[in-house]
Amino acid sequence: MTGLATRQRLPPSSRASSRVTDEPPWVRALLIGIALCFFAIFLLIPLIAVFAEALKKGWDTYIASVSTPDSLSAIKLTLFVAAISVPLNLVFGIAAAWSISKFEFCGKRLLISLIDLPFSVSPVISGLIYVLIFGAQSQFGQALREHGFRVLYAAPGIVLATVFVTFPFVARELIPLMQAQGNDEEEAAVMLGANGFMTFFRVTLPNIKWGLMYGLILCNARAMGEFGAVSVVSGHIRGQTNTIPLHVEILYNEYNFAAAFAVASLLALLALLTLCVKSLVEYFRPENARRAAAGEH
Partner 1 sequence: MLALPVKKAFSLKKIFSFQHSVLPGFSLAMGYSLTYLSLIVLIPLAAVFLKSAELSFPEFWNTVTHPRILASLRLSFGASLLAAAINAVFGLNFAWVLVRYRFPGKKILDALIDLPFAMPTAVTGITLATLYARNGWFGRLLAPLGIEVSYTPLGVLVASVFIGLPFVVRTLQPVLEDMEIELEEAAACLGADRWQTFRKVIFPLLTPALLTGFALAFARAVGEYGSIVFIAGNMPMVSEIAPLMILTKLEQYDYAGATAIAVVMLVFSFVILLLINTLQARSWNKETRT
Asked if residues 277 and 217 have their Cβ atoms less than 8 Å apart, the reply is yes
From candidates 67, 87, 142, 196, binder to partner 1 by CB under 8 A: 196
Nearer to partner 1, 5 or 72 (CB): 5
> What separation in angstroms does the CA of 209 have from each of 22, 95, 150, 205, 287?
39, 15, 38, 6, 15
Q: At what angle do helices 69-102 and 155-165 cross, to 10 degrees?
A: 40
From candidates 7, 26, 60, 104, binder to partner 1 by CB under 8 A: 104
What span, in angstroms and rounded, lies between the C-alpha atoms of 230 and 236?
A: 9
From candidates 7, 147, 191, 255, binder to partner 1 by CB under 8 A: 191
From candidates 7, 9, 147, 297, binder to partner 1 by CB under 8 A: 297
> What separation in angstroms does the CA of 252 have from each of 73, 179, 196?
17, 45, 51
Which window, 60-68, 69-77, 143-151, 188-196, contacts partner 1 (CB under 8 A)?
188-196
CA dihedral 30, 36, 40, 44 (to 10 degrees): 170
From candidates 142, 202, 238, 279, binder to partner 1 by CB under 8 A: 279
Contact call for residue 133 and partner 1 (CB under 8 A): yes
Nearer to partner 1, 72 or 276 (CB): 276
* Shortest distance (Å) from residue 231 CB to partner 1: 8
What span, in angstroms and rounded, lies between the C-alpha atoms of 127 and 161?
A: 6
Which window, 64-72, 173-181, 205-213, 265-273, contacts partner 1 (CB under 8 A)?
265-273
